[in-house]
Amino acid sequence: MARQFDLHRLRLLRELAHRGTISAVAAAMSYSHSSVSQQLKVLESEVGVSLLEPDGRRVRLTPEADILVQHVESILEQLDQADADLAGAAGEIAGTFRIATFQTVIVALMPNLLTILRDNHPRLNLELVQADPGPALSRLQVGEFDLVFAELFAGQPPARSTAVKQTVLHRDTMRLAVPPAGLPLSDAQRVEDLADAVWVMEPAGSPAREWADRICGAAGFMPKVRFESPDMVVHERLVRGGHAVGFLPDLLWVETLPTVGLHTLPDGGYKDIIGSVRAGTSHHPAVTAAMDALHTASTQAADTIAARLAARL
C-alpha cells in the first residue's frame, strides 16, 4: 500500500538536512522548537521508519531519512520548474527576487545590475544581501535566495550538487599589488621578488587565501602575512600606504583609478564570478533577466577597467 506523505512535513525534514539543528529550522520557519519536533515525529509515524537519532545534544538524520530527503529535493525541483513555467506563461517579470553576493561584486556590479533590472522590469522587486558564498549557497537551496554570486579562484573545483546550477558570468583578473612610487617595494614586479615582504591577505582557511598561498608557494616561499581582512578596500589602503603587498582584483577599479603598482600574475591569476540558482529555476524569467543584466553590467565594467588600467599600467 502506498504511503501518504505530507509535503509540509517533508519540507521540515529537508530543512533539517540543510540547517543542521531543529533550533535553526524553527528560527527559519518562524516555528517553536517543540512544534518542529512534533511535526517530525508525525512524519516518522507517516513513513513508518525512524528518521532521526540522537547525536549528543542534537539529532542527525538516519540513512532512511537521507533517502527521503533526496526524493524531497526532486519534488521541490519539479515545483520550482512548475513555477518557472507559470512565470514564463504570464509574460511579465514580477514578484520578489532575492540576490546574495560578496563585497566586490556588490560595489562593482550590483548598482548597475539593479538599475538595468529596475528600468527593464519595474514590477520585479529586488532584495540584495551581502553574504559569504558558503552559507549563501545553503540558503539558496532552501529558498531564502533566488540567485547567489560567488567567486571561484583558478585551480579550485566548483561545487558539485545536482540541486544547484552554476554558470561562470565574469572572469576577474587578479594582479600583484605593490606600493606606489616612492615607497619601499614599489619597484617589485614579480611575486618571487617579495619573499621577504609583509603581505595582506584574506583570512586563513578562505578560498582566496588558499589561492594566494598557492601563488606564493609556486614562487618558492610562504608569505609573511601580518594583515588579514576579507575587505579588498582594506587591502588596497594597506598597499597604498606602503604597509604591505598583496593581490587585488580588477573589479576594484570600476569606480576609481588605481593608486598602487599593479603587475600581471602568471597563469592562474584570476577568479571567476559564478552565478548559482536552484536547478529547477534555471529557466525562470526572473533568473534569466538577472543573468542578462549581470552580463551587461560586467561587460560595461570590463570596458571601464580596461581604460583605467591602460592609463595606469
DSSP 118-165: HHH-TTEEEEEEE--HHHHHHHHHTTS-SEEEEEEETTPPPP--TTEE
Is 300's pLDDT higher than 90? yes
Q: 3-state DSSP: the chain helix, strand, coil percent, rounded to 5?
A: 50, 25, 30
Q: CA–CA separation, 309 vs 294, rounded Å?
A: 22
User: Distance between CA atoms of 179 and 254, rounded to whole angstroms?
Assistant: 20
**Which tops the pLDDT comparison, 267 or 294?**
294
pLDDT classification of 101: cutoffs 50, 70, 90: very high
Confidence band (pLDDT; 50, 70, 90) for 164?
confident
pLDDT score, position 57: 81
Instruction: Give tens-digit pLDDT for 5-44.
Output: 788 888 888 888 888 888 888 887 778 888 888 888 888 8
Strand boundaries in 37-131, DSSP class E = 52-55, 58-61, 95-101, 124-130
CB 65 within 8 A of CB 95: no
Q: Which DSSP letter does residue 203 get?
A: P
Identify the three-state secondary structure at position 242: coil
Mean pLDDT of the chain: 90
Model confidence at 117: pLDDT above 70:
yes
Range in 65-74, 123-132, 157-166 with the lowest mean pLDDT: 157-166
Residue indicated by cell numbers 582566496: 208
Q: Tell me, what's the pLDDT at 153?
A: 95
Residue 222 CB-density burial (10 A; 0-12 exposed, 13-18 middle, 19+ buried): exposed
192 grid coordinates: 618571487
- The pLDDT of residue 132: 86
Q: Is the pLDDT at 83 greater than 90, yes or no?
A: no
Residue 3 is predicted with a pLDDT of 66
CA distance 194 to 23: 48
pLDDT (tens digit per residue) in 181-236: 989 999 999 999 999 999 999 999 999 999 999 999 999 999 999 999 999 999 99
Residue 313: per-residue pLDDT: 61
- pLDDT at res. 134: 80
Q: Please, what is the end-to-end C-alpha distance for the chain in angstroms?
A: 73
pLDDT at 89: 82
> In which band, very low, low, confident or very high, does the pLDDT at 86 lie, cut at 50, 70 and 90?
confident
Asked if residues 273 and 105 have their Cβ atoms less than 8 Å apart, the reply is: yes
**Quick check: 240 pLDDT over 60?**
yes
Q: Return the CA Rg of the chain.
A: 23
Residue 307 vs residue 199, higher pLDDT = 199
As given in the structure block, the three cell numbers for residue 4 are 501518504
The length of the chain, given as a count of residues: 313
Q: Please name the residues in contact with 86: beta carbons below 8 A apart, sequence gap of 6 or more.
A: none
Q: How confident is the model at residue 137 (pLDDT cuts 50, 70, 90)?
A: confident
pTM over 0.85: no
